[in-house]
Amino acid sequence: MRSERDLLAKNRHIAGQIRYASQGRQVALFNLIGSPGAGKTALLEATIRRLREHVPLAVLEGVQATDRDAKRIENAGCRVVQINTGAGCHLDASMIEAGLRGIAPPRASIVFVENVSNLVCPALFDLGELAKVVVLSVTEGEDKPLKYPHVFRAAEMMVLTKTDLLPHLDFDAGRCVACARQVNPRLDVIRLSATRGHGVDDFCGWVQAEASRAWSRVPERSEPHDCREGES
């Protein structure tokens, strides 16, 4: 449909502006996508507690209703902007643009986007992110990457969460990873338990490495006008 094409084209344009501005300000934006209950918020809580003393952090929290997840992020010690979408099933670039203006991330900072919980619509919308992270829990199906291939194909990282539950489940983690890499052979994978702490350091290391790699490509004097610190 033409209206859908126009909508996606407008979104890509805004996402391009976000990406350019974020690169200039050395703001690393990570887009977390997953089903309800996959463990995105728990992953962010554990990540924030490990990284908050080392790098400025912020979260854009996308959900249809309530501010419960935003309060969890705030209690973990991180700045957060709540984005309620109502009946909307995804965040779009215009929402991210407004959220970034609200938090005004400083230079050399990391911003996590916790997208609205589903594996379909969020995969279609570029948010100007440095990387997409698909979050999948061991309480979901092993073949989910084959059923929802677009998001796994678009992602740079898959985080397999709640691995502490594996002894109690009929879930083959190796088969799940194989399904994901059948869709995207270049997909990085980290297995972790946010509640037990296993694998969280690996995820934090990957985030920092991706951010540092992006920052190293930016000339120091680059200063685009968006995503900047607040003006007086």
Alpha-carbon distance values, 11 to 7, 64, 125 (Å): 6, 20, 7
Residue 64 sits in which domain range? 2-213
- Does position 231 have pLDDT exceeding 70, yes or no? no
Write down the pLDDT at residue 1: 61
Could you report the per-residue pLDDT of 52-67, keeping only the tens digit for each? 999 999 999 999 999 9
Q: Are 204 and 47 in contact (CB under 8 A)?
A: yes
Residue 231 belongs to some domain of the structure: no
Q: 77-121 pLDDT, tens per residue?
A: 999 999 999 999 999 999 999 999 999 999 999 999 999 999 999
- Distance (Å, whole) CA 206 – CA 175: 23
* 57: in domain: yes
| Residue 52 included in any domain | yes
Residue 144 forms part of a structural domain: yes
pLDDT value at residue 223: 46
Whether the pLDDT of residue 225 is over 50: the answer is no
* Residue 161, beta-bridge partner list: 137
Q: What is the pLDDT of residue 232?
A: 31
Say what the pTM is: 0.91
Rounded-to-10 torsion of CA 119, 122, 123, 124: 130
Asked whether residue 75 carries a pLDDT value surpassing 50, the answer given is yes
The answer to whether position 141 is within a domain reads yes
Task: Report if residue 223 sits inside a domain.
Answer: no
Quick check: is 16 in a domain?
Answer: yes
Does residue 230 carry a pLDDT above 50?
no
**92's tokens:** 């779009």
Whole-Å CA distances, 79 to 36, 74, 144, 153:
23, 6, 32, 30
- CATH, residue 24: 3.40.50.300
Domain count, the chain: 1
- Is residue 222 situated within a structural domain? no
Confidence at residue 6, expressed as pLDDT on a 0 to 100 scale: 80
